[in-house]
Amino acid sequence: MIVTQHPIAGMALPERIFMVLASIFITSLILTNIIAGKYFMFLGLPLSCSTLVYPFTFVVTDIVSEVYGIHRARLLVLAGFIVSIVVTILVWIANQLPIAPTSPIDTTTFGQLFGLFPGVVLGSMVGYLTAQFVDVQIFEYLRIVTKNKHLWIRNNLSTLTSQLIDTIIVVTIAWVIWPMIDGNPVTRPIGWQVWSKIVAGQYLFKGLLALLDTPLVYISTYLIGKWIGIRRS
């Protein structure tokens, strides 16, 4: 599959591109969590502002996995996990600190935005882990039912179901459960009507994204591969 003889010692450019990709991943991940609380209308359904940057995280891990191997992609996910936890702790501390009377931002405003932050991070982590687990289970179950045939059915059905579960868990933890239990008077849980609309909007967007993701990753991988001198035949 691979023809080139690329000496690892002189890998300055590939290494630098890896760091750029890693930076894009971390930046997009942090931004995703921070701006998640604002929703706008998209095709008649509410959609979170985090959809502006969320896709970057997927595209980057796919590119890294393709160009640099799955171990580097996993390393990025691990780093993202650790950074998210550290940032959440810092946000929580910043939220608790006593405010000065001259502050440009008042406590209520700060609390409305950052009070929800731990719920968003917690929700996405629980959602992600559960979805991965469910995905494997459904895939296995369908494999037995279809007697090892029809890979595309298994693949798509398991992904569609796990993504729906992921969406429900994230929205429920971030906007319903966390505002109830965080003991912060300025954060309020959303109603079930809004909940269902948000879940529908988010889920539809994910489906759309999955379709767009494939050509994007193909193009980016091709370009980066060409740039750092990997030739595939």
Partner 1 sequence: MLLEQFRTQQPSLSERVYVILVGLFLGVLLLTNIITSKYITVGHLTLTAGAITYPFTFSLLDIISELYGKSSAKMVIWMGLLASLFMTFITYLANVIPIYDYSPVPQAAFQLVFGFTPGIVLGSMVAYLIAQFIDVYLFELTRRITKGKYLWLRNNISTLVGQLFDTAIFAGIAWVIWPLIGLTQGIEPISCHTWYQITINEYMFKVIFTFFNIPLVYIGVYLVKRYIKA
Minimum CB distance to partner 1, residue 224 (Å): 12
Which range, of 89-97, 126-134, 154-162, 214-222, touches partner 1 by CB under 8 A?
89-97
The 8 Å CB, 24+ separation contacts for 38-43 are 39/198, 42/201, 42/205, 43/204
- Count of C-beta atoms within a 10 Å radius of residue 206: 20
Site string for partner 1, 122-161 (x = CB under 8 A): ----------------------------------------
Instruction: For residue 180, state whether it binds partner 1 (rule: CB under 8 A).
Output: no
Instruction: For residue 19, state whether it binds partner 1 (rule: CB under 8 A).
Output: yes
CA quadruple 214, 219, 220, 226: dihedral positive or negative? positive
Structure-derived torsion over alpha carbons of residues 150, 169, 129, 216, reported in degrees to the nearest 10 = 60
Q: Return the residue of 17, 114, 158, 172 that touches partner 1, per CB under 8 A.
A: 114
Q: DSSP string covering 147-199, please?
A: TT--HHHHHHHHHHHHHHHHHHHHHHIIIIIHHHHS--TT--PPPHHHHHHHH
Residue 188: left (phi > 0), alpha (psi -120 to 50), or beta?
beta
Number of residues near partner 1 (by CB under 8 A) = 72
- Applying the rule CB under 8 A, the residues between 25 and 84 that interact with partner 1 are 26-27, 30-31, 34-35, 37-41, 46-47, 49, 52-53, 68-69, 71-72, 75-76, 78-80, 82-84
Minimum CB distance to partner 1, residue 154 (Å): 26
Minimum CB distance to partner 1, residue 125 (Å): 15
Q: Return the residue of 13, 23, 145, 222 that touches partner 1, per CB under 8 A.
A: 23
Minimum CB distance to partner 1, residue 188 (Å): 8
Spacing of C-alpha 46 from chain mean position: 18
Instruction: For residue 93, state whether it binds partner 1 (rule: CB under 8 A).
Output: yes
Q: Nearest-CA neighbor of 230 among 75, 66, 74?
A: 66
Minimum CB distance to partner 1, residue 48 (Å): 9
- Applying the rule CB under 8 A, the residues between 185 and 214 that interact with partner 1 are 190-191, 194, 197
- Of 137 and 196, which CB lies nearer to partner 1 in the complex structure? 196
Q: At 2, is the secondary structure helix, strand, or coil?
A: strand
Minimum CB distance to partner 1, residue 22 (Å): 6
